[in-house]
Structure 1
Amino acid sequence: MRVALCAAFAVCAVTAVLPGAASARPAIEPMGGAAGSAGSAGSRVAGVERISVAAGGTQADGNSADASITPDGRRVVFSSSATNLIPGGAAGGERVFVRDRQTGQNSRMGTYDPLNPPVISGNGGYVAYPIQWVNNVRVRQYQVSTGGTASANCLAHSCNQPSLSADGSSLALVVFFRQPSPGQRVELHDGDGTSRTVAALGHTRSSLPSLSGDGRSLAYQDGQAEDVFVWNRTGDTTSGPIEGPAKAATLVQLSDDGSKVVYLSGADTYVHDTASGTAQLVTNVRGVAIDPTGRYLLYAPQGTTGPSSLTLRDLQTGTDETVSAQPASAGTDAVSSGGREVVFHSTADDIVPGDTNGVSDVFVRSFA
């Protein structure tokens, strides 16, 4: 398993990118900031849209969170306890919804409480999330166009942490088993009914699988050894640990094109290039997500575990753009291709006008 991506981590190039790097793109005014604040002179002003609203724009009457966005920025999946997001849609608990930003319509995906944030396929056609099923946890996959169940996984064991390919035909997940001793398998399930074990781990600490859009690459972590690996379907080969044996790492995400792996180590974020084996260092920040092309990194200040400000970094130019100056949270798959949109949730009431519901809402920040 530990076939190294380079002869030793010491010979892999690491390029430092400092938070104060010079900007090649103009700064933007933080949401809720007053005119004349940082970034106001000659800045471009990007739009922000509240996603957790009913079709007519009525604000949600319950908390909404855990959002992901498709690469084209059209569809957003999120969970919500709101009862008014769809006609006659009394929730009776937390539910999963998909909003089509083009049509302004919401669709509910299933009638179960999600145990973890839902994920959406790159084409916006499928949604998956784990649910409680008697004494086990199952992953259910739904077809967005119909709202119907596309698959139910792990009938004999518990499974969790789903990740979908771009067309929804491949699903990565973690299967937990109790016998002969507690452990887990990182598995890849394909639409033809076949499945394969990518990794078998003798513990149940999180492995966080992250699948590329073409379903050919899968990043995961060994949560006990604190190592990150990348599996490739071609030749069924595994490379890693990509961070080197001396570093403790936590996986954040594999970019949709499979070119970049984001992981946390110490107080820093690393963006590993799978082709060259080099790593780009972004110092003293907590990486949250990366866009599908691997160019734009969403991050929060280091030392924060809850809501905080969010910033989008162009890894090529070193430019930072403010996504939210107010306390906010985001997860993986929060950034669309080219860093054009970022989805997040916040309880702040001054991100958009007329926010009076007093609950957490989901927003999309768009950059021109």
Structure 2
Amino acid sequence: MTKRMTKRMTKRMTKRMTGRTTRSATVAVVACAVVAVWPGATANATASAESTAGATGLGVGAGGGAGVERISVATDGTQADDASAGASITPDGRHVVFASSAKNLTSDTSTGGDKVFVRDRRTGQVGRIGYLTTLQSPVISGDGEHVAYPVQWMNDVRIRQYQVSTGRTISADCSAHSCSQPSLGADGRHIALAIRFKAPLSGQRVEVQDWNTGAKQTVADLGHTLPARPSLSGDSRRLAYQDAQAEDVFVWDRAGGTTSGPIEGPAKAASLVQLSDDGGKVVYLSGSDTYVHDMSSGTAQQVPNARGVAIDPTGRHLLYAPRAAGGPSLVLRDLRTGTDETISDRPATAGTDAVSADGRDVVFQSAADDIVPGDTNGTSDVFVRHLY
């Protein structure tokens, strides 16, 4: 019996014993023309971004202390008139990117489905940078300068990358195939994505592309189209990804072009959550538990009966959803001290890149109407909990 067959049989037995199930989410997005409307990008851009007067919420450096800020509001505090979700936050906590079908967050009231917005928490300024038609999760670079999000192009899915300061928009090179699952480095120069091949080819490729030069590096070729979930470190040196068919997690190192893994060991079934921004920690799920793998020591810290959601850029704080009923929906754990901080005791969800550096801010979405005062829009909103 080959080693590969033995591994597969061991994983199948493990799944039967733990009752583990694997779910695969298929991203389907439809987009209209991309319109760059962030202020400062062009002379016409100011029509869709408001002035900083009347900004509400805590904001970065606003002296508001710990508390919750609703992000999906207009600059003057007007609440969104439709659903908002799919948010990511920069390591410094200043910029939040999110998707929303609201038409009143900027002065641009044009329709066309869901849109991608960026909020500057320091100034309160909100800008719209593109269109979607389903609530997907855009991602933002660590410096807040680049945003990547999926759009539909004919029968394919493309990834747009938008530069905030200039309004420049490019599409990732998918070579006539479909691409998805973007992840950005800290300065936005490098983007990782999964490219799904069109017939007569099959499978997908995990790739890193350079915004400046257009250069491409192949990280892995996979013989299936299950989610690969590439997760890029801040310096773009390391990339974590999963082989969902084999149920393994790997880490690729640009410096030597080498791949480590499966990091969870030869017998355990695992799915990737996120690579920390410093490239030192890899969060993965196995059974009903979450594991935080240390790249330096090769050891993993177990968080039992928890579904890991995101890790902060330094790798110290883990955002997770407890599996036990009746408790909070989102909790932030200090992995060094083992202490927990409740992020939301109302029904709430979050995605990767949801935690700022040192666990200071956590962005999440919820349809609960009692998280902040005056929430009367009857739909989901994006919030940031500022812890200290």
Instruction: Work out whether the TM-score is over 0.5.
Output: yes
Instruction: Name the CA distance, whole Å, in 1 between partners of 2:126 and 2:175.
Output: 30
Cα-Cα RMSD: 1.7
Shift of 1:182: 1.7
Residue 239 (structure 2) pairs with residue 243 (structure 1): no
Equivalent position of 2:184 in the other structure: 164
Q: How does 1:90-129 map to 2 (within 5 A)?
A: 90-113=110-133, 116-129=136-149
Equivalent position of 2:7 in the other structure: none
Instruction: Name the CA distance, whole Å, in 2 between partners of 1:143 and 1:177.
Output: 27
Post-superposition Cα deviations, 1:61-102, rounded to whole Å, max 9, x if no partner, equal: 010000000000000000000000111233431010000001
Instruction: Name the CA distance, whole Å, in 1 between partners of 2:162 and 2:247.
Output: 33
Instruction: Name the CA distance, whole Å, in 2 between partners of 1:100 and 1:125.
Output: 11
Q: How does 1:268-307 map to 2 (within 5 A)?
A: 268-302=289-323
Percent identity for Structure 1 against Structure 2: 70
Moved more, 312-321 or 151-160: 151-160
Residue 350 (structure 2) pairs with residue 320 (structure 1): no
Taking structure 2 as the reference length, the TM-score comes to 0.81
Equivalent position of 1:203 in the other structure: 224
Taking structure 1 as the reference length, the TM-score comes to 0.85
Tell me which of 213, 220, 225 is aligned to 2:246. 225
Shift of 1:130: 1.0
Equivalent position of 2:353 in the other structure: 333
Structure with the higher fraction of residues in strand conformation: 1
Letter in 2 for 1:79: A
Residue 210 (structure 2) pairs with residue 190 (structure 1): yes
Instruction: Name the structure, 1 or 2, with higher relative contact order (CA <8 Å, separation 6+).
Output: 1
Letter in 1 for 2:314: T
Cα pair 1:115 1:130 within 8 Å, conserved: no
Cα pair 1:230 1:240 within 8 Å, conserved: yes
Instruction: Name the CA distance, whole Å, in 2 between partners of 1:90 and 1:257.
Output: 40
Letter in 1 for 2:300: A
Shift of 1:150: 3.6
Post-superposition Cα deviations, 1:240-296, rounded to whole Å, max 9, x if no partner, equal: 000012111010000000000000000100000011101001111000000000000
Shift of 1:114: 5.9
Equivalent position of 1:23 in the other structure: none
Shift of 1:154: 1.6
Q: How does 1:36-185 map to 2 (within 5 A)?
A: 46-113=66-133, 116-185=136-205
Instruction: Name the CA distance, whole Å, in 1 between partners of 2:111 and 2:103.
Output: 5
Q: Which consecutive residues of structure 1, in runs of 5 or more, have no partner in the other structure? A: 3-44
Distance verdict in 2 for CA 1:215–1:141, change over 3 Å: same
Letter in 2 for 1:274: M
Equivalent position of 1:349 in the other structure: 369
Cα pair 2:206 2:230 within 8 Å, conserved: yes
Instruction: Name the CA distance, whole Å, in 2 between partners of 1:200 and 1:61.
Output: 43
Cα pair 2:114 2:135 within 8 Å, conserved: no
